Amino acid sequence: MANAWKRDKPTTLLSPKFLFLLFSSTFLLLFIFIFSTFRSSLTNPTFFAINTHISFNSISPFDCFNSPQAHPVVASVVEGVRYPFMYSLSDFGTLPDKPHKNIVRMLKGKPFRKPDISVTVQEVLEKAKSEGRDGFVVDVGANVGMASFAASAMGFRVVAFEPVFENLQKICEGIYFNRVADLVTVFEAAASDRLGNITVHKLVGRLDNSAVSATGAKMAFKSNEEIAFQVRTVPLDEVILDSERVLLLKIDVQGWEYHVLKGASKLLSRKGSQAPYLIYEEDERLLQASNSSAKEIRDFLRSVGYHECTQHGTDAHCTKKD
């Protein structure tokens, strides 16, 4: 009889579906609390004020204040970074059977797994800080802000570009959660080499794989539903003034990197340490899907003075010597 419990049917109290319902109701209550707190903060007119420390040409920042609130809100702090920050998920996985890995971590009482780019950004900016260099960070293809908030957590100003509306909503949540409205300015746009409009393809359930190239967007997730939409394009040189110092330029745009770099020719042509530390994704398959190549990018970078580039996985890091 001592082992009779082993033959009983397992209780469904802690089944995956029950945990999912518990998780959902908990976050509903959390959302109500956050939303009520957010509404009460509207009495402060500076809460979502546009960052006035940086001047911009050609385009107005995204209006987080008047943007509709996304729901549900799934957010947590990131583990293992020197300067902690929070961010919100825009993709939840397939619920309830295959939730996003960070949702599983939350159910286990763990923080979000640290994104590699967040660690890299803080390392690069830590070095700049130790050398007494100040300036701001440009985050192109900001997704939900994992690089932007890693930088703003250190007190650096950030200019972020993100074309996907759902991701912009999550960036706005992160601006509130991290209390960095005075540091982070975000634009609803795709950085490119010309002013205009372009079609972007987003994947339902994998918004981080959104791309200008439909082939590039679906390269790794062929079964996901694809939605095409129009978004404004703007060259970085049209936005960033010559008087503003950029410490770090991070680009992750699923194969559109060459066009972003071409649109930042003036910025990248700055001399020595006045030029930004450059991190960009260099995935040959994605680049070819957008009719460019790693060689074309490297040739262009050499033409504007970037002769020191090293590979870090699928990312390239490029610097200029004084």
pLDDT for position 198: 94
pLDDT for position 209: 76
Higher pLDDT, 95 or 249: 249
pLDDT for position 32: 42
pLDDT for position 2: 40
pLDDT for position 31: 47
Under the banding of pLDDT at 50, 70 and 90, the label for residue 39 is very low
Q: Using one digit for the tens of pLDDT, what is the confidence trace for 116-135?
A: 999 999 999 999 999 999 99
DSSP for 180-233 reads: -TTTEEEESSEE-SSSEEEEEEEETTEEEEEESSHHHHTSS-TTS-EEEEEEEE
Rounded distance, CA 75 to CA 153, Å?
16
Q: Using one digit for the tens of pLDDT, what is the confidence trace for 154-178?
A: 999 999 999 999 999 999 999 999 9
Rounded distance, CA 260 to CA 18, Å?
46
| CB distance 189 to 59 below 8 Å | yes
Mean pLDDT on 39-56: 46
Mean pLDDT on 80-99: 93
Q: For residue 296, is pLDDT > 90?
A: yes
Q: Using one digit for the tens of pLDDT, what is the confidence trace for 231-265?
A: 999 999 999 999 999 999 999 999 999 999 999 99
Mean pLDDT on 36-56: 46
pLDDT for position 319: 97
Mean pLDDT on 54-63: 78
Mean pLDDT on 95-101: 90
Q: Name the fold adopted by 75-195+237-319.
A: Rossmann fold (3.40.50)
* Displacement of CA 212 from its chain's centroid (Å): 16
